[in-house]
Amino acid sequence: MLEQKQREEKVKENLNLVHTCANRFRGKGVDYEDLFQAGCIGLIKSVDGFDESKGFKFSTYAVPVIIGEIRRVFRDGSMLKVGRSLKDKARLAQARRQEYIGEHGKEPTVSELADILGMSAEETAQVLGAVMPVMSLTSQDEGESRQLDVPIPSPEEEIGDNIAVEQILSTLPEPQRQIITLRYFANFTQQKTADALGMTQVQVSRAEKKILLKLRKMLT
């Protein structure tokens, strides 16, 4: 588990991922601030849940989680406003977090803090997200707060799911990568893919199922 300072740095260093993912959903009926806040919740979850020992890049793990939180805003039909109730919960969460750190000498995970608060892990992450962006986007300079400038990627930059998918595909053996590329990027049918690769349609179908299962496991 990362120490608090490392955790904050990890969040700050990867805010571009949130901007990148949130930009994908601009102009679809939700304010950008709400998209960004939802994405920050996903980023916090990713920082707390990322296991570097599995050998994947952080962005490969984080992007699907961030996009999932942003999509939740549309699915639930609600905006993530920081109201009084959420602020009260955030203050309580921060107090319990400090108590935990004092007792155990380490930062609690989202799940551990959720158990202490009697909330679900999802609700706890949302509560933390209500305060974490402010902490991450500002810094102290000789007692004065100043806003950090975070560059926003251009809309033309490849974003969202493609970031994770492309990184995962690069780890596949060439034959497997060819099947996925032809089927899902070139929109080939299984038969056309089989013809192009010198395989039968049945072989392509079986291989595709195994590869997709492998990709799902790698992403989760």
Bigger pLDDT: 129 or 144?
129
Encode pLDDT of 56-93 as tens digits: 788 888 888 898 888 888 776 544 455 566 677 877 88
Task: Specify the DSSP class assigned to residue 53.
Answer: G
Interatomic CA distance for residues 164 and 80, integer angstroms:
25
The domain segmentation of the chain, as residue ranges, is 4-147, 172-219
Q: 168-213: per-residue pLDDT in tens?
A: 777 888 888 899 888 877 888 889 999 999 999 999 999 989 988 8
Mean pLDDT (whole number) for 145-152: 44
Instruction: Judge contact between 27 and 112, C-beta under 8 A.
Output: no
CB within 8 Å of 182: residues ≥ 6 apart: 188, 192, 193, 196, 197
Compute CA distances 56 → 35, 64, 96, 103, 217, whole Å.
26, 13, 32, 33, 12
- Average pLDDT (45-62) is 83
In DSSP terms, 138 is beta-bridged to 147
Mean pLDDT on 94-108: 82
pTM of the shown model? 0.42
Highest average pLDDT, of 39-48, 96-105, 133-142, comes from 39-48
Question: Which band of pLDDT confidence, cut at 50, 70 and 90, is reported for residue 55?
Answer: confident
Task: Give the pLDDT of residue 203.
Answer: 93
For tokens 């601009």, the residue is 26
* Residue 110 neighbours by CB under 8 Å, 6+ apart: 44, 45, 48, 49, 121, 124, 125, 128
Q: How far apart are CA 10 and CA 44, in angstroms?
A: 9
Separation between Cα atoms, residue 211 and residue 172, nearest integer Å: 9
How many beta carbons lie within 10 A of that of residue 193, not counting itself?
A: 23
Per-residue model confidence (pLDDT) at position 165: 67
Which CATH architecture describes the domain 4-147? Up-down Bundle (1.20)
CATH of span 172-219: 1.10.10.10
Dig out the tokens for 204 from the structure: 């392509």
From CA 85, how far away is CA 67, in angstroms rounded? 25
State how far the Cα of 29 lies from the Cα of 46, in Å rounded to an integer: 26
- pLDDT, residue 160, reads 47
Give the count of beta carbons closer than 10 Å to the beta carbon of residue 126: 23
Per-residue pLDDT, 37: 85
For all residues of the chain together, what is the average pLDDT? 75
